[in-house]
Amino acid sequence: MPKVFSYVRFSSAKQSAGDSFERQIKAAKAFATSKGLELADPKDYLFFDAGRSAYKGRHIDDTSELARFLGYVEDGTVPVGSYLVIESLDRLSREKVRDALPRFLDLLAKGINVFTSLDQRTYTKDFDVTDLLVSIISMSRAHEESATKGSRVSSAWAKKHKEARDTGKPLGKLRPLWLDLTPDGYVLNPAHAQVVQRIFDLSAKGYGSRVIAATLNQDGIPTFSADRKNSSGLWGFSTIRHILESRTTLGEYQPHIFIGGERTPDGEPIKGYFPPVITEEQFYLAAAARASRRLHKVTKVTKNFNVLAGIFFCQKCGGTMHLQGFKDRKYFKCANKQKGMCDSGLIGAERSESVFREVLAKIDSLSLVRSSSGSLTKKLHVIDGRVEELRVKQANAESSHEEFPSRITAKLLQQIETDLETLNAEREALAQSLATDQVVSKSDFFESLDLTSYEGRAAANNLVKRLGVRISVMKLERMNECYAVSVEGTVSFLVYNREAALTIRSVDTDILDKQVMHGEITQDQRVRLEQIREMGNVQGTTSLVRALFNWEHVVASRADNG
């Protein structure tokens, strides 16, 4: 039995804020009542294209609602004789007539009637010439109006972009919300600028966008647009993310134009156009921290940051170890065990955090306690942020070059590759400088280490993730475990927990150096371990493991004697 279907479309947020949606739905209901037909259930069959312009056919694609309706017509879900109610033909298409008319006629040919509520006209497959002329004129007018409007808007913005690039002339009221517009140009809004700086500082310390938003809301910090677009007055994670990713915070302005309906950069960014609200160092420190969080997929919001988030795994199945329990009875449990896919045991949280402390003592983590190392590490992280930005540009350029090969994109790719090589060389030099800045006393390191505050725990977690650390745990027996610590995919050392005492085992040269420095092994024992390593290189991993096991029963190395 034929039904009535409603197709609603508007192309701007302003239209959605008004009564455009309600008006179009109400018209469909009235038409269904007048015809004595059933209006298809809006939950399943309301075809609603919000924010889509029909100009250039942008709403006729695989994702649009009109495409979904056409699909239902093809497979018979929409019965022959049904009605599609639209406000006017210009809602159906603002394409050129020669492109839009076949689609309109195809609907009618398949037995679908089109009713336009604005002029109360019904189009069927038995239309007469007059009706057809009306539809053609309507479509043509709609396309011409959109084209004229688009041309005028484009010309106006092209003029503004030229003035901005040539003279630095302000774009009028359009500006980042941490700036004010004065007769002399843009100036920082002191209160808003302070909030932006805090957002970048929190991000660099390990806070995710959701946690930053929650923190600002808890502290009663009003949003920049609380009296306008944001009626709730609350910070959202998308706003925080937009601020962190926007280079307008550095004072840059990137003009855009629309090409084929896509927003595309118009030339190079204009540097120094806006007053910068942060430094490049702050921008790239936050970028490096975000890249690290994305890589390890740590998104959980927690008041007491889990220092092992994103780096702790089950040795048995490779599943992620999740922190569970309450207060003093916390433990780690394999994610696959919860699904019945792994039979590994529970791992005590307190013991695991002790292992984490040992990991910090064995890797390049002095930036957490020493200002000189902190300065080097900060420079390292700034380079990481720049590298991440270049890699994104590289991926975009490669995609563009693959689709539309040109000398320009080839030259851009070559320049990006050169810049990456330069940055990687700088990074290697900084890493070597950081490696020479060492502390002798492990007890002093632990005394200065902050694993109590949220900031301290987040900073430690971010550091080990950036260094490519991964910890895998295996339950040995009731209270004993073995932790395998890998750095950049290679096992660096093992930590055994036996009866609440930690033992470090390694044949890695750097780790052996630190064990001697920390007093965990003697120089003679180090020599013996190096001999075992060389034997393993010749005879294989099995011989290495057997030799280490036999040596383990001769001498013990305690991690807790520093």
3-state secondary structure 405-439: CCHHHHHHHHHHHHHHHHHHHHHHHHHHHHHHCCC
Instruction: Record the tokens describing residue 323, joined without a space.
Output: 């922190």
Burial class (CB in 10 A: 0-12, 13-18, 19+), 411: exposed
d(CA 306, CA 457): 7
- Per CATH, the number for 170-295 is 3.90.1750.20
In the numeric block, which tokens belong to residue 95? 């394409």
CATH class of 4-147: alpha beta
Helix (H) or strand (E) holding 484: strand 480-487
CA gap 101, 362 in Å, rounded:
71
Per-residue pLDDT, 302:
45
How far apart, in whole angstroms, are the C-alpha atoms of residue 446 and residue 389?
A: 35
Question: Where are the alpha helices (H) located in 227-367, listed in sequence order?
Answer: 237-245, 280-296, 335-338, 349-362
Q: What does pLDDT average to in each consecutive run of 10 residues of the chain (562 residues)?
A: 78 43 79 90 55 40 59 86 81 50 76 84 74 56 54 58 68 81 87 94 84 87 68 82 92 72 68 89 85 55 74 94 85 90 90 90 69 60 82 82 73 86 83 57 74 81 86 86 89 84 85 84 86 80 67 54 44
Q: Are strands 262-265 and 469-477 parallel, antiparallel or unpaired?
A: unpaired
CA 41 to chain centre: 36
Joined together, the tokens standing for residue 555 give 């001498």
539 neighbors 547 (Cβ within 8 angstroms): no
CA–CA distance, 162 with 168 (Å, rounded to integer): 9
Give this prediction's pTM. 0.46
**Distances in Å between the alpha carbon of 117 and those of 66, 88, 131, 276?**
17, 7, 15, 52
- Angstrom distance (rounded) from CA 292 to CA 384: 10
46-50 vs 3-10, strand pairing mode: parallel
pLDDT at residue 154 in the model: 55
- Return residue ranges of the chain for CATH 3.40.50.1390: 4-147
Quick one: how far is CA 464 from the chain centroid? 20
Give the residues across from 540 on adjacent strands.
none
What count of other Cβ atoms lies within 10 Å of the Cβ of residue 388? 18
User: Cα 403–151–242 angle (5° rounding)?
Assistant: 60
Q: Are 317 and 342 in contact (CB under 8 A)?
A: yes
Q: Where in the chain is the domain with CATH 3.90.1750.20?
A: 170-295
